[in-house]
Amino acid sequence: MREIAFRQALREAMQEEMRRDQNVFLMGEEVALYNGAYKVSQGMLDEFGPKRVIDTPIAELGFAAIAVGAASNGVRPIVEFMTWNFAVLALDQIMNHASKMLAMSGGQFGCPIVFRGPNGSAGQLGAQHSMAFESWYANIPGLKVISVSNPYDAKGLLKSAIRDENPIVFMESEVMYGDVGVVPEEEYLIPIGKADVKRMGGDVTLVSFNKMMKVAMNAADELAKDGIQAEVIDLRTIRPLDIDTIIESVKKTNRLVIVEEQWPFGSVSSEIAYQVQQKAFDYLDAPVRRICSADTSMHYAPNLVAAYLPDVAKTVKVVKEVMYAVK
């Protein structure tokens, strides 16, 4: 089976859906003439033309509003943000209009739109360009939130997102666009709202998503050297959350550790921990633990970047503390 880059998987998803449905179009900063800031949309202007691959001004609020209006009138926009750090400027349109359209219209019309782009840190980019936003958008009723970790999931979930009738926030990562993975040539879809067990194990459940899946998988490799078999779950979808897959794993392993790039207060891990203690408290042999980014802004210096982010060593340490805890 062929292997392709993350950016190509995203591009193929958009191309296939634009060929399938003439109502689908792409808009965003530099998506057309420049082939995308990260070359995700390379060649799409040549194939689909300037009416369906549209360069926008540097005005996130403005072009998000255009997309919401378009989606409300029967077409299906894909909006690329150069980074989700800039998309806070468009939050009014995403939160107050796209997410509420179906409810405020009494179910008469929805807002089938995909907002996508890179999320989280990408090295030494400073405090204003390094935030992770999954928990922000997952807090908004009416939105679906997807956060992918590999090319296969990226293509299958983006195709499903484009076909969905709801507004969807689709999180990628700048540092993963060059990642290579197995992606079938034939068409496939991945259902929204279904987590994936990437590695089986019976001692502890590790839950993660987006690029922190690399940390979780590498930590599982290190733990295996010490005889600890971790079951690793990739959430893929943050909202709706597949809590059932997590619960089934916890019932088997009796321990749960969550690795994510969010700030700790009000994070995705906070919600997971709450739901697990509600639904599987009697199965836990140790407290639920998590590894988040530091509760501060991320600064530029490389040693501070390393201190800020979750990593394998921090994850292994917490898992071992959980393993040796007494109920």
Q: Tens digit of pLDDT for each residue in 117-158?
A: 999 998 888 888 889 999 999 999 999 999 999 999 999 999
* pLDDT tens digits, one per residue of 162-221: 999 999 999 999 999 999 999 999 999 999 999 999 999 999 999 999 999 999 999 999
DSSP 293: -
- Give me the helix-helix angle, 243-253 and 268-279, nearest 10°: 60
pLDDT of residue 272: 98
% of the chain surpassing 90 pLDDT: 92
In the chain, DSSP finds a helix count (H) and a strand count (E) of 12, 14
pLDDT at 23 over 80: yes
Catalytic residue among 12, 17, 60, 172: 60
* pLDDT tens digits, one per residue of 312-324: 999 999 999 999 8
pLDDT of residue 326: 46
State the average pLDDT over residues 58-73. 95
Q: Which domains does the chain have, with CATH numbers?
A: 3-182 (3.40.50.970), 196-323 (3.40.50.920)
- Please tell me the pTM assigned to this model: 0.95
Average predicted confidence (pLDDT) for the chain: 96
pLDDT of residue 124: 85
129 counts as catalytic: yes
3-state SS track over 129-191:
HCCCCHHHHHCCCCCEEEECCCHHHHHHHHHHHHHCCCCEEEEECHHHCCCEEECCCCCCCCC
97 counts as catalytic: no
- Report, in this order, helix, strand and coil percent for the chain, each rounded to 5: 40, 15, 45
CA 302 to CA 242: how far, in whole Å?
35
Catalytic residue among 129, 134, 174, 261: 129
Question: What does R_g of the chain's alpha carbons equal in angstroms?
Answer: 20
State the average pLDDT over residues 49-64. 97
pLDDT band, very low/low/confident/very high, at 282 (cuts 50, 70, 90): very high
